[in-house]
């Protein structure tokens, strides 16, 4: 692990631990992702889990809607092939085996998201040390149904029976009848996950009942097709506020949130300091982005890291097991989290506890929902658009300079479910144009889209199949063709690979690109100066039509540079602030190529080389830039170099007249 460089000139911020999530209380948050059953699945086999819910509800006199609603909030009805979560939770009901050892960490070359976690790797502790209450205890459930403990780990039907038995036992302990009315089960539902504070328990129960009210329909990771019919008469209850919350916390009232401060202090007599910068946002700098991280370490380790002034910082951490949120830096101040000071100055960084190579273990439904609630709250507060050029992953952050590209991070990775996340945000990713438009939004069916990846357990070894937001890109419309190469990521000309950390040849759900060509079941997009092909069959599309604005080099320009930050022009710098040197990225936009833009902004820079009691001034330029979807990562081009083009419905891509493939 590398020691962080204390910021002076543009400091590549380093992400603090990897990921923690928060979500906003809105009915829209609870809209489930609508998925259809794979055509090849036998209907009878496809209904086994649905029948298991019906049978267990009848056997233990629990309303089926309550049982299915709880299971959806626990796991989205997924079984994860019998693998445990980080706290030892199994199956569709996420029943916790407290005797089970925590999940093993990923392969040895992984680093915490705070690049410079240093000693933190040696102080790793069990992230589940705060414990669950015994409400969802797997061993107790096994005793109640008279089944072996191991059966509840691997048999989804037995797991559902165990969950029904636990709900019925809790209802009886509360002195309540085994009623057919779901409303009578609110208290039992609130206690099911073992949440240890009243606000979180009430939010959980209200999410379950809002889901019951709206209904749900989904195909699980095991190909099971389930439907929870809507019950419009069911209503959530008012959520109590968290009375114990610190006054420093900026968080939705219905979430469980706490404060653990990151230090702002001098490190030595040479002017070095850490681990964030004072600011006065949004007065001195508009907050435009929210960056989603995962920790690549346990939360316990990361909480130690964020308190170390020699380490990185971020604004919020989110716990995997229950979505608890901890704030470390005030949103008005600038955390060192993204690896790009320009992005840091305009963003809020949220770390989610987890490892990108173990998504089924760490990326819990409660974490997704808590994260989405937090992001929706922050987006409303700071007027941040809910799209993928403003809400993006650490793996989408542009490198500030050409030389730092290989050091940029790749979390939350290909297994983060962006489609579900934006459903929870109340801003579902969807088609905004016709199928033949000259723009497309990447949007694979997460549950059934399982491209091969390697490196989850050992370099070169295939990962277990898992739903993915990533679509792989080729040089030709053929899966036997070479993958698109990233000259920044692989400066020596190495081939792109299928490794889970190799971003060089893939696009992600919600990202929007200009169409470069079409051929049968294949679509090509402009990507880092190249024509990149992906399979997009009409029956099972991996992208949908989009509309909006694109930029293209002005007439007469053969190619234009692209940057990882939008700096002011030379004349904008005061005498006491050193002018920053531009560092074009190793990608060119050639004549005739088009790239999607969702934002125009002026260049700016903040000198973070000194430690003081007041924020440093923002250097504002007149030079205008467009933010573009360059490839997997974002980029910036000068407005003076491009023309803005509006999308149009066409029978194919725009003419390529002067366009030529990049030789980089």
User: Based on the domain organization, do 48 and 89 belong to the same domain?
Assistant: yes
Q: What is the pLDDT of residues 308-361, one digit of tens each?
A: 999 999 999 999 989 999 999 999 999 999 999 999 999 999 999 999 999 988
Q: Is the pLDDT of residue 22 over 70?
A: no
Q: Same domain, yes or no, for 559 and 411?
A: no
Kindly state the average pLDDT of the residues 71-84.
93
4 pLDDT higher than 80: no
Query: Can you tell me the distance from the alpha carbon of 362 to that of 273, in angstroms, rounded to the nearest whole number?
Result: 33
| Residue 476, helix vs strand vs coil | coil
Q: Based on the domain organization, do 396 and 459 belong to the same domain?
A: no
How confident is residue 19, by pLDDT bands cut at 50, 70 and 90? very low
Calculate the CA 117 to chain-centre distance: 21
pLDDT score, position 30? 39
Q: Give residue for tokens 């029956």.
A: 539
> Which residue bears the tokens 């002017």?
271
Q: Pick the last residue of a domain from 228, 259, 290.
A: 228
The reply to whether 158 and 306 lie within a common domain is no
* Residue 621 banded pLDDT, cuts 50, 70, 90: very high
Shared-domain flag, residues 499 and 408: no
Contact 277, 334 (CB under 8 A): yes
Report yes or no on 111 lying in a domain.
Answer: no
On the question of pLDDT at 272 being above 80, the answer is: yes
Given this model, what pLDDT does residue 242 score?
60
Q: Could you tell me the CATH number of the domain that includes residue 47?
A: 1.10.530.10
Query: Does residue 107 fall inside a structural domain?
Result: no
Residue 256 is predicted with a pLDDT of 87
pLDDT: which is higher, 425 or 106: 425
Q: Give the distance from CA 511 to its chain's centroid.
A: 13
Whether residues 436 and 416 fall in one domain: no
Encode pLDDT of 111-137 as tens digits. Answer: 678 643 333 333 333 333 333 445 799
Residues 212 and 247 in one domain: no
pTM beyond 0.85 = yes
CA dist 280 and 181 (Å) reads 51
- The DSSP H or E segment spanning 638 is strand 634-638
505 and 645 assigned to the same domain: yes
Higher pLDDT, 488 or 196: 488
pLDDT of residue 251: 95
User: In the chain, pLDDT over 70 holds for what percent of residues?
Assistant: 85
Tell me how many domains the chain contains.
3
pLDDT (0 to 100) of residue 111: 65
Query: 176: how many CB neighbours lie within 10 A of its CB?
Result: 14
DSSP symbols for 129-184: TT---GGGBHHHHHHHHT--HHHHHH-HHHHHHHHHHHHHHHHHHTT----S-GGG
Contacts 24+ apart (CB under 8 A), 515-524: 515/437, 515/438, 515/439, 515/440, 515/652, 515/653, 515/654, 516/593, 516/653, 516/656, 516/659, 517/652, 517/653, 517/656, 518/652, 518/653, 519/477, 520/477, 522/477, 523/440, 524/477, 524/653
Do 212 and 169 lie in one domain? The reply is: yes
Same domain, 382 and 279: yes
| Mean per-residue pLDDT, 265-283 | 94
Last residue of a domain, one of 421, 440, 465: 421
The mean pLDDT of the chain is 87
Q: Is residue 282 part of a domain?
A: yes
Q: Is the pLDDT of residue 169 over 80?
A: yes
Q: Are 290 and 397 found together in one domain?
A: yes
Residues 327, 415: one domain?
Answer: yes
Task: Name the band, by pLDDT with cuts 50, 70 and 90, for residue 2.
Answer: very low
Last residue within a domain, chosen from 386, 421, 456: 421
Inside any domain, residue 109: no
456-475 mean pLDDT? 96
Confidence (pLDDT) at 108? 47
Tell me which residue range forms the domain holding 181: 27-98+137-228
Q: Tell me what pLDDT residue 9 has.
A: 38
Mean pLDDT of 41-56: 86
Is residue 255 scored above 60 in pLDDT?
A: yes
As a whole number of angstroms, the distance between CA 564 and CA 8 comes to 18
| Local confidence band at 5 (pLDDT 50, 70, 90 cut-offs) | very low
Place of tokens 């004072």: 278
Instruction: Mark 428-440 as b/e (b = at least 16 C-beta within 10 Å).
Output: bbebebeeebbbb
Categorize the per-residue pLDDT at 14 as very low, low, confident or very high, splitting at 50, 70 and 90: very low
The rounded distance, in Å, linking the Cα atoms of 5 and 162 is: 52
Mean of the pLDDT values across residues 153-164?
97
Closest CA to 343 of 108, 606, 112: 606
ω into 437 cis (within 30 of 0):
no
Residue pair 120/114 in contact (Cβ under 8 Å)? The answer is yes
pLDDT greater than 90 at residue 95 = yes
Residues 6+ apart with CB under 8 A from 645: 549, 550, 551, 552, 594, 654
* Res 101 pLDDT > 60: no
User: Do the domain assignments include residue 129?
Assistant: no
Instruction: Specify whether the CB–CB gap between 597 and 550 falls below 8 A.
Output: yes
| Predicted confidence (pLDDT) per residue in 399-456, tens digit | 999 999 999 999 999 999 999 999 999 999 999 999 999 999 999 999 899 999 999 9
Whether residue 149 lies inside any domain: the answer is yes
Half-sphere exposure of 433 (CA within 13 A, CB side): 23
Q: Tell me whether residue 369 is in a domain.
A: yes
Residue range 35-59: average pLDDT? Answer: 77
Q: Residue 232, exposed/middle/buried by CB under 10 A (0-12, 13-18, 19+)?
A: exposed
Lowest mean pLDDT among 109-113, 193-197, 430-434, 494-498: 109-113
With bands split at pLDDT 50, 70 and 90, how would you rate the model's confidence at 237?
Answer: confident
Q: Tell me: pLDDT of 574 over 60.
A: yes
Higher pLDDT, 452 or 244: 452
Q: What is the pLDDT of residue 195?
A: 80
CB-based contacts of 130, cutoff 8 Å, min separation 6:
196
Angle between helices 48-60 and 156-173 (to 10 degrees): 30
User: What CATH number is associated with residue 300?
Assistant: 3.40.80.10
Q: Is residue 389 part of a domain?
A: yes
pLDDT in tens, 199-232: 889 999 999 999 999 999 999 999 999 999 999 9
């Amino acid at each position: 692990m590398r020691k962080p460089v204390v910021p002076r000139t543009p400091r590549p911020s380093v992400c603090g631990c990897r990921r923690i999530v928060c979500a906003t209380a809105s009915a829209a948050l609870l809209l489930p992702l609508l998925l259809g059953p794979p055509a090849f699945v036998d209907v009878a086999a496809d209904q086994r889990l649905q029948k298991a819910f019906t049978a267990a509800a009848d056997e233990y006199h629990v309303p089926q809607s309550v049982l299915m609603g709880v299971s959806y909030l626990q796991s989205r009805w997924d079984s994860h092939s019998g693998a445990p979560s980080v706290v030892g939770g199994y199956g569709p009901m996420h029943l916790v085996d407290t005797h089970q050892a925590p999940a093993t960490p990923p392969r040895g070359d992984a680093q915490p998201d705070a690049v410079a976690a240093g000693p933190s790797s040696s102080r790793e502790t069990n992230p589940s040390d705060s414990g669950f209450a015994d409400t969802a205890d797997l061993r107790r459930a096994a005793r109640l149904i008279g089944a072996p403990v191991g059966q509840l780990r691997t048999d989804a039907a037995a797991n559902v029976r165990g969950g029904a038995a636990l709900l019925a036992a809790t209802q009886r302990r509360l002195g309540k009848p085994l009623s057919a009315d779901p409303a009578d089960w609110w208290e039992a539902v609130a206690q099911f996950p073992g949440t240890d504070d009243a606000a979180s328990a009430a939010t959980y129960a209200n999410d379950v009942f809002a889901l019951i009210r709206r209904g749900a329909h989904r195909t699980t990771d095991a190909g099971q097709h389930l439907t929870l019919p809507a019950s419009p008469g069911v209503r959530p209850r008012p959520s109590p506020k968290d009375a114990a919350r610190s006054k420093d916390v900026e968080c939705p009232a219905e979430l469980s949130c706490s404060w653990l401060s990151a230090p702002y202090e001098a490190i030595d007599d040479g002017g070095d300091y850490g681990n964030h910068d004072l600011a006065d946002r949004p007065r001195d700098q508009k907050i435009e982005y929210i960056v989603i991280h995962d920790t690549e370490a346990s939360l316990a380790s990361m909480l130690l890291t964020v308190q170390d002034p020699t380490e990185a910082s971020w604004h919020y951490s989110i716990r995997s097991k229950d979505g608890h949120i901890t704030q470390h830096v005030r949103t008005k101040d600038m955390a060192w989290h993204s690896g790009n000071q320009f992005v840091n100055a305009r963003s809020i960084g949220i770390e989610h506890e987890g490892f990108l190579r173990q998504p089924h273990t760490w990326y819990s439904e409660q974490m997704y929902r808590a994260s989405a609630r937090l992001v929706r709250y922050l987006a409303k507060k700071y007027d941040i658009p809910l799209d993928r050029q403003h809400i993006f992953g650490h793996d989408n952050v542009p490198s500030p300079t050409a030389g730092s590209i290989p050091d940029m991070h790749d979390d939350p990775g290909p297994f983060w479910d962006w489609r579900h996340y934006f459903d929870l945000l109340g801003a579902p990713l969807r088609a905004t144009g016709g199928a033949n438009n000259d723009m497309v939004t990447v949007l694979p069916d997460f549950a059934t889209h399982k491209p091969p990846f390697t490196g989850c357990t050992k370099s070169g070894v295939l990962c277990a199949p898992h739903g993915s937001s990533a679509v792989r890109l080729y040089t030709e419309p053929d899966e036997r063709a070479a993958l698109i190469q990233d000259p920044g990521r692989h400066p020596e000309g190495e081939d792109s690979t299928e490794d889970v950390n190799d971003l060089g040849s893939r696009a992600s759900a919600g990202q929007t690109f200009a169409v470069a060509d079409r051929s049968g079941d294949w679509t090509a997009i402009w990507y880092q100066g190249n024509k990149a092909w992906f399979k997009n069959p009409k029956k099972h599309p991996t992208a949908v039509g989009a509309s909006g604005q694109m930029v293209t080099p002005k007439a007469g320009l053969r190619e234009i540079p692209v940057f990882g930050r939008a700096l002011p022009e030379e004349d904008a710098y005061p005498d006491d602030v050193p002018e920053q040197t531009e560092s074009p990225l190793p990608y060119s936009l050639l004549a005739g190529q088009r790239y999607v833009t969702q934002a125009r902004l002026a260049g700016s820079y903040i000198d973070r080389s000194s430690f003081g009691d007041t924020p440093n001034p923002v250097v504002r330029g007149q030079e205008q830039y467009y933010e573009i979807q360059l490839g997997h990562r974002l980029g910036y081009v000068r407005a003076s170099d491009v023309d803005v083009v509006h999308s149009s419905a066409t029978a194919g891509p725009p003419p390529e007249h002067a366009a030529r493939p990049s030789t980089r």
